[in-house]
């Protein structure tokens, strides 16, 4: 009954979304009239005339309002559908196919709720729900200054939403139920003739990999990031369609883009943390196509965040920003497509699912339409200013964009190469970490370098001399730091280059910060801490950005550490036998096997850890076998310090017993800096993106001051 209701709600939502997008589109008959006018036949000219007659301001306004209300209605509707689904999940309604697939009786209630996004159908519904929430938020804002954008923003948002809701309703419906028919048990939307409802005793249970706390938050974060990038895209398309090609759309969506970026970055970091804690391969990032699918929109999104500043300050790169936001949007959909359609994993899962071609068609349509729009409006998106110096901030931002695009090219090619190779030569290939690391390594290094010098350069003009003057002190300190590292820590050239760049970025950024605070301290007679505080508050975007740069440098330390200095060993130990690695001595003390409360059998080893003969504590690597899903998980025992992590796995393909168990032991230097960096990142982005009291007025003021002081940031 409830499942049928849920199906009905989804169906209604789909039609409401369609209504909203059509009404929004037709509220502006002029656009269509213009389209028909361009086709030189008598009939189309007549249609154009008729359409123009329809175009009255009152009618347009009421239609837009109607579309807006319909769009606002989708959120409570999808929430209702989601509520029904959660009810079914929590109450063990295994006659519902989705519930059967992702839950089981032994799962705790909170996991039954989060199982919502643990399977295909549910996660698409989750996507739609977030999309609808964001679209509603956007339409609730004051629109008086930007009336003409509204219908097209609604149109784009509802177009996206209609696609996802349509797919959830007609192809991947989470409310499908099992029916026993004469030919067997199958899942249907509606009860077929001669059938009775079939209720399995228990469900399959959630994939154990998805039961980790990290995985509970990771997909929502990633999806939030994905979905919030739809908003800047919607505004960009609205700007293109209406022909209002000033940078209004960028100012309106700047904060959305920042929040989107926050969620996407958090999603990626949490994904890394989850991989580190659960996947049991000693790392956080494996250049897996699924990871890259989420990384690619991050790259274009990051490039976008930088290049919009050029448009705001200098009125340049209007085309480029449009292209970036379109790329980001389609990469978001492409990412969802890659992970959901099975185009990359040949043997498994969704290969026969209908959603692959649907996603593909959708990407093709939106991409082609967006590019066509950009080409159509190309001439109107002219640049206003010129570039004066190759070392000016705008020029450096351009190099930054080039680097991000280059990394994107490498990643995209890495994902697509196996496909092309199979098509053209018949040989399947694997593109593993070695390819990405080799190709991206220099690009990342160059990015770090830019991150160091960009804050020093001014808008408009900078020369080697000005840069050198600002940079020489931090550079000397960075060189000293590197020399010290050479003497004390490592002789590895790549590591030294990396650490030099990291030191360079951190020192220059801090130096910049300090100079600003000193200037303020002098002129305003504040003490240095108040000066820091006020300086940040004065230009939050700039100083938030600096903090983000610092956090990226900290993350780079972690990445350098684990990439270049990770050591590992594998060996079979008998009870009380020891093995040593990287200064640690590990003793195999005990092993126990017991049944956990949530339907798993746990094999847990106890290892004593010593350093220089001193006892540091026990570690408990374990293997969890889940009865319902018939899958094992290897959970590492970890001991984290700022210097390194000791990371021990109980190897699950060898027998684990008191007589002997096989362990894989990693020492991962500096990896903790990565997680520290991500916390600092959070702080930075909150500073940069926290809403101003009155964004409209501040925006106007900033605009004025920019015109007056062209060098000011």
Partner 1 sequence: MKVSTMLNKIRNTKYAVLATILLLFVTLLAFNSVSAQGPEPTDDEVNKIAKKLYCPVCENTPLDVCPTEACRQWREQIREMLIEGKSEQEIIDYFAATYGERASGDPRDKVKAYLIPIVGILLGAGLLVSALRTWRKPKAAEAIIPAKDAGDVHQDEYIARIEAELKKRD
Partner 2 sequence: MTETTTPRRAVPLWIQIVIWIFIVGLLAIVALGLSRRQQGTVQPGQKIDDFTLTLYSGYELGGRSEIKLSDLRGKAVVINFWASWCKPCEQEAAELQQAWTEYEPGGEVVFLGVDYVDTETDARVYMKKFGITFANGPDLATSISQYFRIRGVPETYFIDKAGVLRYVQIGPFVKVEDIRAQIEPLLK
Q: ∠ CA 301-164-102 to the nearest 5 degrees?
A: 100
CB 418 → partner 1: shortest distance, Å? 8
| 271 is an interface residue for partner 1 by CB under 8 A | no
| 525 is an interface residue for partner 1 by CB under 8 A | no
**517 Ramachandran zone, left/alpha/beta (phi>0; psi -120 to 50):** alpha
Place of tokens 């969620």: 263
| 402 is an interface residue for partner 2 by CB under 8 A | yes
| 388 is an interface residue for partner 2 by CB under 8 A | no
From partner 2, partner 1, none, interface partner of 417 (C-beta below 5 to 8 A by class): partner 1
| 426 is an interface residue for partner 2 by CB under 8 A | yes
CB 539 → partner 1: shortest distance, Å? 8
Shorter beta-carbon distance to partner 2: residue 96 or 381: 381
| 408 is an interface residue for partner 2 by CB under 8 A | no
Spell out, one character per residue from 301 to 340, where the chain touches partner 2: x when CB under 8 A holds, - when not: ---------------xx-xx--x-----------------
Q: Which of 398, 431, 454, 470 binds partner 2 (CB under 8 A)?
A: 398
CB 682 → partner 1: shortest distance, Å? 27
| 352 is an interface residue for partner 2 by CB under 8 A | yes
504 close to 474: Cβ distance less than 8 angstroms: yes
Per-residue CA distances from 189 to 1, 11, 181, 192 (Å): 12, 11, 14, 9
Q: Which of 406, 490, 492, 611 binds partner 1 (CB under 8 A)?
A: 406
Chain positions 538 to 567 lying near partner 1, rule: CB under 8 A, are 538-539
- Burial state string for 44-60 with b = 16 or more CB within 10 A and e = fewer than 16: eeebbeebeeeeeeeeb
| 375 is an interface residue for partner 2 by CB under 8 A | yes
User: Exposed, middle or buried by CB within 10 Å (0-12, 13-18, 19+), for 399?
Assistant: middle
Distance in angstroms (rounded) separating the CA atoms of residues 336 and 363: 11
| 399 is an interface residue for partner 1 by CB under 8 A | yes
- Only one of the segments 123-131, 365-373, 389-397, 592-600 lies at the binding site for partner 1 (rule: CB under 8 A); that segment is 389-397
CB 217 → partner 1: shortest distance, Å? 23
Q: ∠ CA 22-23-29 to the nearest 5 degrees?
A: 95
Shorter beta-carbon distance to partner 1: residue 387 or 682: 387
Cα dihedral: 486, 491, 494, 499 (round 10): -20
Chain positions 223 to 252 lying near partner 1, rule: CB under 8 A, are none
Could you tell me where the beta strands, DSSP code E, fall in 524-621?
567-573, 578-581, 584-595, 600-611, 614-619
| 144 is an interface residue for partner 1 by CB under 8 A | no
DSSP 390-437: TTSHHHHHHHHHHHHHHHHHHHHHHHHHHHHHHHHHS------HHHHH
Chain positions 650 to 709 lying near partner 1, rule: CB under 8 A, are 652-653, 662, 664, 701, 705, 708-709
Half-sphere CA count of 616, side-chain side, radius 13 A: 18
Quick one: tokens of 579? 């093995």
499 alpha-carbon distance from chain centroid: 27
CB 375 → partner 2: shortest distance, Å? 5
Residues that bind partner 2 (CB under 8 A): 316-317, 319-320, 323, 341-343, 346-347, 351-352, 356-357, 360, 363-364, 367-368, 371, 375, 378-379, 382-383, 398, 401-402, 405, 416, 419-420, 422-423, 426-428
């Amino acid at each position: 009954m409830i499942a049928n209701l849920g199906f009905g709600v989804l169906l209604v939502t789909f039609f409401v979304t369609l209504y909203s997008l059509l009404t929004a589109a037709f509220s502006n008959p002029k656009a269509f009239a213009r389209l028909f006018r361009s086709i030189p036949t008598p009939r189309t000219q007549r249609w154009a005339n008729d359409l123009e007659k329809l175009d009255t301001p009152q009618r347009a306004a009421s239609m837009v309002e109607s579309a807006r209300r319909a769009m606002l209605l989708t959120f409570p509707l999808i929430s209702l559908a989601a509520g029904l689904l959660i009810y079914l999940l929590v109450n063990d309604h295994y006659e519902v196919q989705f519930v059967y697939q992702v839950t089981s009786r032994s799962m705790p209630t909170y996991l039954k709720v989060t199982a919502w996004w643990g399977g295909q159908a549910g996660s698409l519904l989750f996507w739609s729900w977030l999309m609808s929430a964001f679209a509603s938020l956007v339409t609730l804002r004051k629109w008086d200054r930007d009336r003409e954008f509204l219908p097209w923003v609604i149109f784009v948002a509802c177009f996206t939403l209609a696609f996802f809701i349509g797919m959830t309703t007609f192809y991947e419906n989470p409310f499908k139920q099992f029916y026993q028919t004469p030919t067997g048990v199958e899942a249907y939307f509606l009860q077929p003739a001669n059938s009775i409802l079939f209720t399995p005793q228990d469900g399959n249970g959630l994939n154990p990999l998805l039961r980790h706390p990290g995985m509970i938050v990771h997909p929502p974060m990633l999806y939030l990031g994905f979905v919030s990038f739809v908003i800047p895209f919607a505004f960009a398309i609205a700007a293109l369609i209406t022909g209002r090609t000033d940078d209004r759309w960028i100012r309106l969506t700047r904060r959305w883009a920042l929040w989107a970026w926050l969620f996407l970055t958090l999603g990626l970091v949490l994904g890394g943390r989850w991989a580190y804690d659960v996947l049991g391969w000693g790392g956080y990032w494996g250049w897996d196509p699924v990871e890259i699918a989420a990384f690619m929109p991050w790259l274009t999104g990051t490039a976008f965040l930088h290049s919009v500043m050029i448009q705001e300050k200098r009125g340049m790169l209007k085309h480029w920003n449009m292209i970036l936001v379109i790329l980001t949007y389609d990469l978001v959909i492409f990412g969802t497509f890659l992970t959901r359609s099975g185009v990359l994993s040949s043997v498994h899962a969704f290969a026969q699912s209908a959603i692959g071609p649907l996603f593909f068609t959708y990407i093709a349509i939106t991409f082609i339409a967006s590019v066509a729009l950009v080409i159509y409006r190309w001439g109107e998106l002219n640049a206003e200013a010129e570039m004066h110096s190759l070392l000016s901030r705008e020029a450096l931002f351009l190099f930054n964009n080039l680097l991000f695009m280059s990394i994107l090219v490498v990643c995209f090619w890495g994902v697509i190469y196996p496909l092309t190779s199979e098509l053209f030569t018949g040989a399947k290939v694997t593109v593993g970490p070695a390819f990405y690391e080799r190709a991206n390594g220099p690009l990342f290094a160059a990015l770090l370098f830019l991150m160091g010098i960009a804050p020093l350069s001014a808008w408009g003009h900078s020369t080697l001399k000005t840069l050198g003057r600002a940079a020489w002190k931090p550079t000397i300190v960075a060189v000293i730091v590197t020399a010290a590292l050479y003497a004390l820590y490592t002789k590895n050239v790549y590591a030294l280059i990396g650490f030099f760049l990291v030191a360079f970025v951190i020192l220059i950024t801090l130096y910049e910060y300090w100079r600003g605070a000193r200037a303020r301290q002098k002129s305003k007679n504040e003490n240095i801490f108040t000066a820091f505080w006020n300086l940040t508050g004065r230009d939050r975007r700039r100083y938030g950005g600096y903090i983000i740069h610092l956090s990226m440098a900290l993350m780079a330390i972690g990445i350098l550490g684990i990439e270049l200095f990770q050591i590992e060993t594998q060996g079979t130990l008998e009870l009380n036998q020891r093995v040593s690695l990287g200064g640690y001595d590990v003793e195999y003390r005990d092993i126990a096997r017991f049944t956990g409360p949530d339907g798993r059998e746990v094999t847990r080893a106890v290892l004593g850890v010593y350093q220089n003969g001193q006892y540091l504590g026990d570690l408990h690597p374990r293997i969890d076998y889940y009865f319902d899903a018939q899958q094992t998980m290897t959970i590492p025992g970890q001991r984290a310090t700022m210097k390194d992590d000791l990371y021990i796995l109980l190897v699950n393909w060898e027998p684990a017993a008191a007589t002997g168990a096989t362990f894989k032991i990693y020492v991962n230097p500096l990896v903790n800096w990565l997680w520290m960096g991500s916390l600092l990142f959070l702080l930075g982005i909150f500073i940069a993106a926290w809403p101003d009291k009155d964004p409209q007025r501040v925006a106007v003021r900033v605009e004025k001051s920019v015109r007056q002081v062209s060098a000011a940031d």
